[in-house]
Structure 1
Amino acid sequence: MSGAKTAAIIGGGVIGGGWAARFLLNGWNVSVYDPDPDAARKIGAVLENARGSLPALYDRALPPEGRLTYCQSIAEAVKDADWVQESVSERLELKHEVYAEIITALPRGGFIASSTSGFKASDLASKGAPVVVVHPFNPVYLLPLAEISGAADLRTKALPIIQSIGMFPLELGVEIDAFIGNRFQEAIWREALWMLKDGIATTEQIDNAIRMGFGLRLAQMGMFETYRLAGGEAGMENYMAQFGPSLQWPWSRLTDVPELDAALTRTIADQSDAQSGHMTIFELETLRDDNLVAILRGLRRTASGAGGVILQHEQTLPVGGERDGLPITLRQAVPVTWTDYNGHMNEAAYLELGTWATDGLMQLIGANAEYIAAGASFFTVDTRVRYLDEVHRAELLTVTTQVLEGAGKKMKLFHRIHKPDGAVCATIETLLLHTDLRTRRASEPLPEVAAKLTALARAHKCYDAVGAGGAVGQRM
């Protein structure tokens, strides 16, 4: 890709592969170094999952995918890199050895971003390498959080890059081991181990308590906002007055850690196998990613939590253009939430797709959020959908819109839905009436909107509209 930036990924395991996918799918070229002879296969599996999930979070298309290169040395991977992400094993001595190799080829002014789960940046940089902690969460290509810690100048350099690939940089001004997220995970993990050790709960019960309850709640509010709500109208102060004393009660064993002896390790392994052993790791990862897409798209609708990060990133993605002389009103990958038990896009999803394509056309003629806020819009009164070919999860669809009629109160549109190979897989014909939102009755559009709509209708008369105007069941 001409002009694309390059990210060097040193270490291609689960985290390194996730970083490779995150950068690639945001248009970066990626150079990977990992001595594991199986690295390409492992990263390929991560990319397969990422391609089927990350683009589905957005209602605009991500940039064209970057170029992936596997390198034979650290120096080859790093020499022209705009970003270097180290994701090797959590051994400080090994990281220092890797840094010594990186800095011999690091471009002038460059630095190293470490995926470390627990080491402080000052420890990583103790032998002179310019290292900043950029700690992600798995899967890196879906979860937006990256904890950034280290020297202030390096944090400043890292922040805009992390934001540009759709992540949420959490800057830590004070260095601590394991940062913020992992400390919370460790606290929950320790308590879970004690519940198992004491025979209080099984692995499945513990996981259900999290995923069916507070885990979903924390995903969109966090701890303090959640507890504030628990205090009712009086808020956080009331919550602390009511429940603060319980911190002194012996509810948990967080101040003590059970010995991970053979018996406890065996119990954990056996119960985990019984809970999830019927599925392969790849099946579990795919299930996890599909679930996260559904959750994150739900959060996206209200801009809550991670959904707000997705919306903010989406605003930086390009939209518009033309195809076959008609305006492109939508480009979107098919999310898993649009598919059914047959494995293809369901009928309701076509209507949603048409809704957003109509919205794209309305933006073109000026019937935008400001226009609606002023008291006018277009209301759909009739829609006809033709299903011409199957569409599956993760396929990138492009919608073009032809204005068939644009006079007076009427706006009649003909959407063509194109698959990646250009084939038309569906058409949507829809009739809308301009409406006064105060009276809820049909009305004439304002002159500037009417003029743009009329101009498009006139320009689109030269195009055939094969499939428009027919009866239900008529294919042509």
Structure 2
Amino acid sequence: MTGIRKVAVIGGGVIGGGWVARFAQNGLDVAVYDPDPQAERKLAGLMENAAHAFAALIPGDRPVFGKVTFVSSMREAVEDADLIQESAPEQLALKQKILAEIDAHARADALVASSTSGLLPSDLQQAMRRPERLFVAHPFNPVYLVPLVELVAGNATAPETIETAKAFYAALGMKPLHVRKEIDAFIGDRLLEALWREALWLVNDDVATAEEIDDVIRYSFGLRWAQMGIFQVYRIAGGEAGMRHFMAQFGPCLKWPWTKLMDVPDLTDALVDKISDQSDAQADGLSIRDLERIRDDNLVAIMRALAGQAGGAGWGAGELLNTYEASLAVTPLPKAAPDITRPLDLHTATVLPEWADYNGHMTEYRYLQVLGDATDALLALIGLDAEMLASGRSFYTVESHLRHLAEGKVGDKLTVSTQVLSSDGKRLRIFHTITNDTTGDVVATGEHMLLHVDTTSGKAVTAEPALGETMAKLAAAHAGLAVPDAAGRAVGQPR
């Protein structure tokens, strides 16, 4: 990951805390400095939600979680960091002071990123002795899920700083966008500001409530924006003639006196109270942590749905997610060799929102999916690889018996343990047990008979010597284990 292994985060609030989660869930050690005595407590709740979301977003192998350490001084945080992410309040003088202190104590080769949402990096660099390493890395909340990060260089920023930053944030599963011109509020916030101004006027003039405006967005164009943005959506609106026709048809309305973009209502106490009261009513008793969890689950569901589009290649944020997951698979995390004298824990899974049925429980075919993935993990362990598959050798599952014993709910982390009951070179009989890691309950079991086959003829054949020896070794190692009570049971047999 571009040589960056340890980072420092200055400011552990909503944005800084989001960065801590994003960094740590990618295996980076993070030193956090925040003078707020409540910072560590506040961050703990955010980190819990972030861990829940990341487990659902990346249900397979994930990096080993990085170490997060709160330190008592800025110097202690930055002095051995490879990259420092400043996330202090949006006050130019304060940020300049903090960046100067970071600059004084950080290693000469360390990069310095500011999370500012609108301050110009050229202004932020003014008090730094090494301004060439400073750049803006502006994220969007929640930082640990939303992938976009705007990268902005100042007048003194070195080109290689931006290039290193692009590679670094991309390795975190993000979409780094280099904003080519230094401009107030960059790109994202300028677009959001336009919509926000109009929304304030609509509430101020009693045209709509806060909840009604949110409904307009989430039930209409927000759905389109999530996967196509604005220009591509309007291209479709132009019909077969495309964008040129759309611009000709709807361009004149841009001159109509609809918008109040050049003005903003006075944020009087009355307007602030009105918006706050409407927002409280809309929340309907849900805490900020509750709303964060709901927002995160929805974002995960949207991104994972997009990941399955375009024939499985993914679309938009889903395509980016697939690329990120593939990068984790290309460089798998080191694992200790399994103890084959015990049932093998080869597969874990997290129950995703889309796995739930109308009762909020894991659907039947998802149990079979988890068991199938565990079988694949076992076959990989015994030596079934791409080369063997290409040669026309594989395993077919010819019989299964699945028992549903407990409910799997969204967010549950499941571990599958696998026991080899027997093997004769052609047949492999296995028994899986799915356990809920949180409760310890056995959620389901699956007994399966697999045949080693020649895929050209479709007939069972004896496995190659190396594969057969591994199968026999596992069967012998597990021969001394107690046979599960459910092994060999018939469907409907009394417990």
User: Which bin holds the TM-score, normalised by the shorter protein?
Assistant: 0.7 to 0.9
Preserved contact between residue 338 and residue 345 of structure 1 (Cα < 8 Å): yes
**Does 2:446 align with 1:428?**
yes
**Does 2:295 align with 1:276?**
no
For residue 193 of structure 1, report the CA deviation from its aligned partner: 1.2
Q: Which amino acid in the other structure matches residue 47 of structure 1?
A: M
Give the match's secondary structure for 2:177.
strand
| Separation (CA, whole Å) in 2 of partners of 1:173 and 1:338 | 42
Preserved contact between residue 407 and residue 450 of structure 1 (Cα < 8 Å): no
Q: Which residue of 2 aligns with 1:350?
A: 367
For residue 308 of structure 1, report the CA deviation from its aligned partner: 1.6
What is the correspondence of 1:155-194 to structure 2 with a 5 Å cutoff?
155-194=162-201
Q: Which residue of 1 aligns with 2:126?
A: 126
| Separation (CA, whole Å) in 1 of partners of 2:287 and 2:182 | 38
What is the correspondence of 1:409-428 to structure 2 with a 5 Å cutoff?
414-417=431-434, 420=437, 425-428=443-446
Give the match's secondary structure for 1:183.
helix
Q: Deviations 1:162-193 (Å, cap 9, x if unpaired)?
A: 12222121111211111111111111111111
For residue 393 of structure 1, report the CA deviation from its aligned partner: 4.6
Structure 1's 192 and 19: CA in aligned 2 closer, same or farther, altered over 3 A? same
**Does 2:473 align with 1:470?**
no
Preserved contact between residue 16 and residue 87 of structure 1 (Cα < 8 Å): yes
**Does 2:78 align with 1:78?**
yes
**Does 2:255 align with 1:248?**
yes
Q: TM-score under structure 2 normalisation?
A: 0.82
Deviates more, 1:127-136 or 1:337-346: 337-346
| Separation (CA, whole Å) in 1 of partners of 2:196 and 2:461 | 61
Structure 1's 419 and 316: CA in aligned 2 closer, same or farther, altered over 3 A? farther
Q: Which runs of 5+ in 1 are unaligned?
A: none
Q: Which residue of 2 aligns with 1:67?
A: 67
For residue 414 of structure 1, report the CA deviation from its aligned partner: 3.8
Identity of matched residues, %: 46
For residue 323 of structure 1, report the CA deviation from its aligned partner: 3.3
Structure 1's 31 and 366: CA in aligned 2 closer, same or farther, altered over 3 A? same
Deviates more, 1:275-284 or 1:419-428: 419-428
Preserved contact between residue 425 and residue 468 of structure 2 (Cα < 8 Å): no
Preserved contact between residue 119 and residue 177 of structure 1 (Cα < 8 Å): yes
Q: Which residue of 1 aligns with 2:272?
A: 265
| Separation (CA, whole Å) in 2 of partners of 1:86 and 1:191 | 31
Give the match's secondary structure for 1:258.
coil
What is the correspondence of 1:23-422 to structure 2 with a 5 Å cutoff?
23-128=23-128, 129=131, 130-150=133-153, 151=157, 152-302=159-309, 303-317=314-328, 318=332, 323-325=338-340, 330-339=347-356, 345=362, 347-360=364-377, 382-387=399-404, 393-399=410-416, 414-417=431-434, 420=437
Structure 1's 461 and 371: CA in aligned 2 closer, same or farther, altered over 3 A? closer
Give the match's secondary structure for 1:84.
strand
| Separation (CA, whole Å) in 1 of partners of 2:122 and 2:461 | 62
For residue 359 of structure 1, report the CA deviation from its aligned partner: 4.8
Preserved contact between residue 26 and residue 64 of structure 1 (Cα < 8 Å): yes
Give the match's secondary structure for 2:142.
coil
Q: Deviations 1:84-120 (Å, cap 9, x if unpaired)?
A: 1100000000001111211121012112111101112
Q: TM-score under structure 1 normalisation?
A: 0.85
Q: Which residue of 1 aligns with 2:17?
A: 17
Give the match's secondary structure for 2:265.
coil
What is the correspondence of 1:430-449 to structure 2 with a 5 Å cutoff?
430=448, 443-444=458-459
Q: Which runs of 5+ in 2 are unaligned?
A: none
Q: Which amino acid in the other structure matches residue 313 of structure 1?
A: Y
Q: Which amino acid in the other structure matches residue 56 of structure 1?
A: A
For residue 236 of structure 1, report the CA deviation from its aligned partner: 2.4
| Separation (CA, whole Å) in 2 of partners of 1:475 and 1:115 | 61
Q: Deviations 1:167-225 (Å, cap 9, x if unpaired)?
A: 12111121111111111111111111121223222111110111112112211121122
| Separation (CA, whole Å) in 2 of partners of 1:12 and 1:230 | 43
| Separation (CA, whole Å) in 1 of partners of 2:36 and 2:89 | 13
Q: Which amino acid in the other structure matches residue 460 of structure 1?
A: L
Deviates more, 1:196-205 or 1:135-144: 196-205
Give the match's secondary structure for 2:211.
helix
Q: Which residue of 1 aligns with 2:475?
A: 461
